[in-house]
Structure 1
Amino acid sequence: MILYPAIDLKDGQCVRLLRGEMAAATVFNDDPAAQARAFEAAGCDWIHLVDLNGAFAGEPVNAAAVEAILATITVPAQLGGGIRDMATIERWLDKGLARVILGTVAVENPALVREAAAAFPGRVAVGIDARNGMVATKGWAEETDVDATELAKSFEDAGVAAIIYTDILRDGAMQGPNVEATAALARAVSIPVIASGGVSSLDDLRALKACGAPLDGAISGRALYDGALDLGEALALLRG
Structure 2
Amino acid sequence: MVTAPCPESSGQLPAIRRDESLDRMRASARTPRVPASGVAHEAWGEADMPETVGRGNRGDFTVFPSVHVAGGRVVHLVQDGHVPEPVRTDPVETALAFQEQGATWLHLVMTEENGGFDADTAGRVIDAVDIDVQLMCRAGVTDDASLARALGTGCTRLNLGRGSLADLHWCATAIARHGERLGVSLPVRFTDHGPRVAGLRPGADSGDLGDVLSVLDRAGCARYVVADVSRESALSGPHLDLFKHVCTHTPAAVLAAGGVTSLQDLREITTLAPHGVEGALIGRALYAEAFTLPQALATVSRPHG
TM-score normalised by L of structure 2: 0.72
1:177 to 221, 234, 238: 238
1:59 to 98, 116, 134: 116
Contact 2:160/2:182 (CA < 8 Å) preserved in 1? yes
Contact 2:172–2:215 at 8 Å: present in 1 too? no
1:91-102 aligned within 5 A: 91-102=149-160
For each residue in 1:149-168, what CA deviation from the matched residue of structure 2 results, as whole angstroms up to 9, or x when unmatched? 33123211312221011111
By how many angstroms is 1:30 displaced?
2.6
Corresponding residue to 1:214 among 276, 279, 302 = 276
Say which of 193, 205, 218 aligns to 1:144. 205
Of all paired residues, the percent bearing the same amino acid is 27
Structure 1 residue aligned with 2:176, among 104, 110, 118? 118
Quote the offset at 1:145 in angstroms: 7.0
Aligned to 2:286: 224
**Structure with more of its chain in helix, by fraction:** 1
Distance 1:29 1:157 in 2: 40
Indicate conservation of the 8 Å contact 1:168/1:197, yes or no. yes
Within the alignment, does 1:199 sit opposite 2:260 as a pair?
A: yes
Letter of the 1:91 partner, please give it.
Answer: R
1:48 to 96, 107, 119: 107
Q: Say if 1:84 and 1:104, in contact at 8 Å, map to a contact too.
A: no
- Computing the radius of gyration from Cα coordinates, the structure with the larger value is 2
| RMSD of equivalent CA atoms | 1.8
- Which runs of no fewer than 5 residues in structure 2 stay unpaired? 1-60
| Contact 2:67/2:107, CA 8 A, preserved across alignment | yes
Aligned length: 235
Output the CA distance in 2 between the equivalents of 1:98 and 1:181. Answer: 27
Name the structure 1 match of 2:66.
6
Give the AA of the match of 1:64: D
Distance 1:17 1:127 in 2: 14
Q: Tell me what 1:235 maps to.
A: 297
SS of residue matched to 1:227: coil
Question: Which residue identity does 2:196 align to in structure 1?
Answer: M
| Deviation, structure 1 residue 94 | 2.4
Q: Is the 8 A contact 1:89 1:100 kept in 2?
A: no
Q: Normalising by structure 1, what TM-score? A: 0.90
